[in-house]
Amino acid sequence: MYNHKAKIWTKDFINISLTQFIVFIGFYTLLTTLPLYVLNDLGGSEAESGLVVTIMLIAAIAMRPISGNLLDKFGKKKTLLWSTGLFTGTMFFYFFIDSFVGLMFLRFIHGLSFGVVTTAASAIAADIVPNERKGAGLGYFAMATNIAMVVGPFIGLTLIQFISYKVLFVLISIIAVVGVICAMQVNIPQEIYKSRDQKDKKLTLDALIEVKALSIAAISLLVGLAYSSILSYVSVFADANGLSHVANYFFVVFAAVMIIARPSFGQLFDVKGPKYVIIPSLVIFSVGLVMLSYVESAWMFLITAGIIGLGSGSLLPSFQTMCIQAGSPGRSGHATATFYIFWDIGIATGSYVLGMIVARYNFHVMYITCAVLLIVVLALFMIQQTQHGRRIKVEQSAATQNLQ
């Protein structure tokens, strides 16, 4: 039952949100600047610029199934600390990279720690947030990622106009150290550390992922694919269309609209249910991508940023919350890992495949393709919700008959 008095903003929730925020500042700064670094400094192609995103996410995807077991075996706090430390330590090595092959290797190593730290942080946040305010709480937690999506690209795209990429890499590495400090301040009740039945040591599918969350996680994969058109290619799109001078402001407008809308969407999710958030969000996101495909001026570019921010901003936390709610009690780590496996596959696939579409056709075709894909997602989601509703009715009917 929804209870607006249940407290979300505790010290531990703030610290885990700050940890997530700083990790994603590093992630998004590199996400938007490394493709340009590959094109301008390393002399790579557009397809290769997309690969620096894909390779990191492939590594993260490989770690997702293992992450749930790591959280069970070592505890969420310890796993958070060492993965945050490894993520930060890897950041410093970008300064020494001067070849595409070396960069790809480092991105893969970086992705391994990224896969663990983001799973651990999200699982801890899910445990800290009161059950009756899960939608709103995880929505606020996701804002840490969304704000970082603004701060990271803004820092990166602004600073590379005045400093070298090498200096930028050092600066964001220093910022990442603060994330480790925040992670150290997170306290988790002992009962949350307790793993599920440790007697069953067999490596099964259920031990790696949350099977009950698969259907909704699979749908989120397609959303992630469309979302990658923004994450990986907006800066390149702006550069190709003479809009590089406002590229950093795209994410500012994007997040500003998202932050304004997020509290209302979170409460709507808790009170009315996920379909009241996800269905309109998918439609708005799709419209925004169509508009972006026709952008020719700076003001239209920024208006489109707001529409896309409104549409896409609540999708990630909504799908993640649905995965956690679909899972068994005490399996938040596995449910979170399951969600991110599919989400990352979508981002990684999109970062590479969409790059090939741009190389073969143009940005217009790429964004129209993603808009159509979101309509397909809408249809799949409505089918999933219909089947879910029928299943609940059958279970309720069976429970009533058993009581009689």
Question: What residues contact 401, with CB distance under 8 A and at least 6 apart?
Answer: none
Backbone angles phi, psi at 43, to 5 degrees: 70, 30
- CATH fold label, 11-187+209-398: Growth Hormone; Chain: A; (1.20.1250)
pLDDT at 169 over 70: yes
Average pLDDT estimate for 248-270: 84
- Shortest CA distance to 113 belongs to which of 132, 93, 137, 138? 93
- Shortest CA distance to 64 belongs to which of 323, 328, 322, 313? 323
Query: Each residue of 91-117: b (16+ CB within 10 Å) or e?
Result: beebeebeebeebbebbeebbbbbbbb
pLDDT at 3 over 60: no
Higher pLDDT, 122 or 301: 301
For residue 317, what pLDDT band results from cuts at 50, 70 and 90? confident
Check residue 113 and give its pLDDT: 93
pLDDT at 106 over 90: yes
Per-residue model confidence as pLDDT tens digits over 392-401 = 666 666 656 6
For residue 207, what pLDDT band results from cuts at 50, 70 and 90? low
Check residue 176 and give its pLDDT: 94
Q: Name residue, tokens 């599918």.
A: 205
Check residue 191 and give its pLDDT: 45
Check residue 246 and give its pLDDT: 87
Task: Give the largest CA-CA distance in the chain.
Answer: 75
Higher pLDDT, 282 or 296: 282
CB contact at 8 A, 126 and 324? yes
Residue 2 has which token pair?
Answer: 């929804």
* Percentage, residues of the chain above pLDDT 70: 90
Check residue 85 and give its pLDDT: 94
- Shortest CA distance to 154 belongs to which of 12, 256, 263, 299? 256
What are the extents of the domains in the chain?
11-187+209-398
From residue 67, give the alpha-carbon distance in Å to each of 118, 209, 237.
10, 9, 35
Predicted model pTM? 0.75
Check residue 204 and give its pLDDT: 67
Q: Report which DSSP code applies to 313.
A: T
Backbone angles phi, psi at 42, to 5 degrees: -100, -5
Cα torsion 23, 280, 381, 329: sign: positive
Average pLDDT estimate for 78-102: 92
State which of 108-112, 196-200, 242-246, 257-261 shows the largest mean pLDDT.
Answer: 108-112
From residue 329, give the alpha-carbon distance in Å to each of 22, 152, 196.
29, 35, 10
Lowest-confidence pick of 67-71, 330-334, 382-386 = 330-334
CB contact at 8 A, 149 and 22? no
Long-range contacts of residues 174-178, Cβ cutoff 8 Å, at least 24 apart: 175/22, 175/25, 175/26, 176/22, 176/23, 176/25, 176/26, 176/87, 176/88, 176/91, 177/88, 178/22
What is the pLDDT of the chain when averaged over all its residues?
A: 85
**Upper half-sphere CA count for residue 200 (Cβ side, 13 Å):** 10
pLDDT at 269 over 90: no
For residue 285, what pLDDT band results from cuts at 50, 70 and 90? very high
For residue 280, what pLDDT band results from cuts at 50, 70 and 90? very high
State which of 59-73, 326-340, 345-359 shows the largest mean pLDDT.
Answer: 345-359
pLDDT at 287 over 50: yes
Check residue 199 and give its pLDDT: 45
pLDDT at 195 over 50: no
Check residue 6 and give its pLDDT: 66
Check residue 201 and give its pLDDT: 52
For residue 26, what pLDDT band results from cuts at 50, 70 and 90? very high
pLDDT at 28 over 60: yes
State which of 153-162, 166-175, 189-198, 329-338 shows the largest mean pLDDT.
Answer: 166-175
- Shortest CA distance to 91 belongs to which of 79, 77, 107? 107
Check residue 404 and give its pLDDT: 57
Average pLDDT estimate for 90-95: 92
